[in-house]
Amino acid sequence: MHFIKLNNLLVIALVSTSLLSSYAYPGFNFGWGGRNHGSRGGISYGLSPQFYQFSCPQANDIVMSVLEKAMAKNMRIAASLLRLHFHDCFVQGCDASILLDDSPAIVSEKNSGPNKNSIRGFEVIDEIKAKLEEECPQTVSCADILALAARGSTILSGGPNWELPLGRRDSRTASLIGSNNKIPPPNATIENLITFFKRQGLDEVDLVALSGAHTIGVARCATFKQRLYNQNGKNEADVSIERTFYFGLKTVCPRSGGDNNISPLDFGSPRMFDNTYFKFILQGRGLLNSDQVLLSGGVIKTQELVKKYAQDEALFFQQFAMSMIKLGNLRPITGFNGQVRKNCRRVN
């Protein structure tokens, strides 16, 4: 195991599970916190890494313990939990609205186009919440659980650690319309992606770094079929796909049917959080259109970043950590607003 310290961010390159609890624990203050005036530049006022220092000091240990067991059973769960946090924050901010089930007052975001039949990890969040409610009743919000689970999943996959500002509260509402309209689709062009991210106050650097989460996990055939058979409405393949990769994907994803067949987003090391994802993009082996256009879309900024992260894993880890903090700071509910749900699937 070795550590790299970059701009006050502790980056763990290889993590021993026996030491995870101590290194993943929220404890050191790098300047987050203060009054609730919103967020700017990755600093969110009203959130603090020490938020549960006295009210629930074992919160992160509980999250990590559940994650270790869940990932031992199913390594895909790490990517699922990262995606869950992302799909939550892009809709109404990081407020755990994605966890709400349908009810007389709620139309669940789980039924949106980007989420239906593909969003996963709810049972793991339920287990974490149940254990936290035993130890610290009505203290740790579901929104913070999502943020802690996303960080823990990254660490347990071999990725970076970061000091995570906490203190989010949970929404009483969900937005099916927002979930349908604000989450970037897998067939997005580079211009679309930049627009989707800028609406959230995230820039091209955040776009490329956060796309690097695709270094773990899988995607359904339905999300990349267009690239194989009808990229531009002319029944032709995407010319940016490397040919050997293209023929391999066709065996997984036929022209007709097979929509739920899966392929790794990073087939070189699909369980390891590393920079292989960017190396494959340079080879024309990005799985989703939204992956490959980071290089092929003609935007110099994103092209340069793909090349830099492919060459320098530590640089990617550093920026991923900073962009995850920025993502987690999107429009949090703080103070006496919102609530801390007893059950993440329904309002109190």
Residue ranges of the binding site for Ca(2+): 88, 91, 93, 95, 97, 109, 215, 266, 274
Distance CA 55, CA 69 (A): 25
Residue 90 · residue 182 · CB < 8 Å:
yes
**CA 265/CA 309 separation, integer angstroms:** 16
Residue 110's pLDDT is 97
* CA–CA distance, 331 with 55 (Å, rounded to integer): 23
- CB–CB of 100/174 below 8 Å? yes
Give yes or no: 87 in active site.
yes
Q: What pTM was estimated for this model as a whole? A: 0.86
Q: Which domains does the chain have, with CATH numbers?
A: 58-180 (1.10.520.10), 184-327 (1.10.420.10)
Q: Which of 2, 37, 85, 87 is catalytic?
A: 87
Task: List the chain pLDDT tens, one digit each, 348 residues.
Answer: 444 444 444 443 333 333 333 333 332 222 223 333 343 333 444 899 999 999 999 999 999 999 999 999 998 999 999 999 999 999 999 999 999 999 999 999 999 999 998 999 999 999 999 999 999 999 999 999 999 999 999 999 999 999 999 999 999 999 999 999 999 999 999 999 999 999 999 999 999 999 999 999 999 999 999 999 999 888 999 999 999 999 999 999 999 999 999 999 999 999 999 999 999 999 999 999 999 999 999 999 999 999 999 999 999 999 999 999 999 999 999 999 999 999 999 999
Binding-site residue positions for substrate: 184
